[in-house]
Amino acid sequence: MASSFSKQTFNKTFTTVANSIYLMLMVGWLTLLCALPLTVLFVLRVPLTFYPTYALALALSAPSFAAMFAIFRDQPTFNSRDAELRIKLYDDNLKDPNFPPDWIAKPYVPSDRVTAIFRPFFRAYKQLFLRALAVGFSCCLVIFAFGYDLQITQQFTWGAILMPVLVVVMAIFLQAYFVGLVIIVEYPKAKWLNVMKSAILLSVRRWLALIIALLVMVGFVWGVMWNPILVLLLGTGLIFYIEYSAARWQAQILFAQMAVESGDKRIRDMYSVGADAKSRRPKSSFWRGGADIMQ
């Protein structure tokens, strides 16, 4: 009996690991395919000095990353403990037409499809296309503007003083790009201005996540410049899963606040918010959080 139990455990573990590797590779390849402008730049190893081209390619690639994040959010094989709880709540309330509310995205991947990838990816790509482009172009326009300022400051002796500030701002907006995509994946009806305000402010919250995400991105770009084919084909899914995890951890501040403001215990449970949690939103502030996105 013990031998049978061990065999079942081994088979389950092996299947989970094999499915995870397959899905991680496939979601990376699908993203590279749909983010073709950025992929071409990486494959050709275009120098980063051509930053306007990279900014445009990154903006056009936003729907691809949004679809990737949708897969990470709901693919059962990737699910964390919190995600499993969220899916269980969905399944337990299938007969309730008002749950989840329309401002929260329904699962992008069926909970019983442990290897589903193609249809869910392209369905999410289509659903999130316009909003992802809006977030992508907004952030990349700012990155381009500060990149241009950085280029100008290099022509002056006093430019060295401003360079660190400009680089930090560009890094913040790069992270805001990914946080914004996480937000629209979770709340596909959120208004553009509310998403951008939240993304910018959340990108500097939990600064450890910001540092980790930036280090991962720097390592990814360095690896691509070293061996683009190998790194892109084998590392894209894993690298951006780390980026997604960091961005979602930052966005969890907003998710928890909205769960509290919803007044629904089931939504609190979805985001692991305790019953004694209270909204931290002040009556008047630049970031009004959940009340804006629910509208």
66-81: per-residue pLDDT in tens? 999 999 998 888 866 6
Residues of 196-217 as b/e, b for ≥16 C-beta within 10 angstroms? bbbbbbbbeebeebbebbbebb
pLDDT given at position 113? 80
Number of domains forming the structure of the chain: 1
272 lies in some domain: no
- Cis status of the peptide bond prior to 100, with omega within 30 of 0: yes
Alpha carbon 287 to its chain centroid, in Å, reads 20
140 lies in some domain: yes
pLDDT 10s digits, 157-205: 777 788 888 999 999 999 999 999 999 999 988 999 999 999 999 998 8
- Mean predicted confidence (pLDDT) in 131-157: 92
Neighbours of 49 (CB within 10 A): 10
pLDDT given at position 182? 96
Contact 210, 250 (CB under 8 A): yes
pLDDT 10s digits, 239-280: 999 999 999 999 999 998 988 888 778 888 787 776 555 555
pLDDT given at position 11? 73
Alpha carbon 195 to its chain centroid, in Å, reads 13
Structural domain boundaries, residue 114: 14-246
265 lies in some domain: no
261 lies in some domain: no
The values of phi and psi at residue 96, to 5°, are -95, 110
251 lies in some domain: no
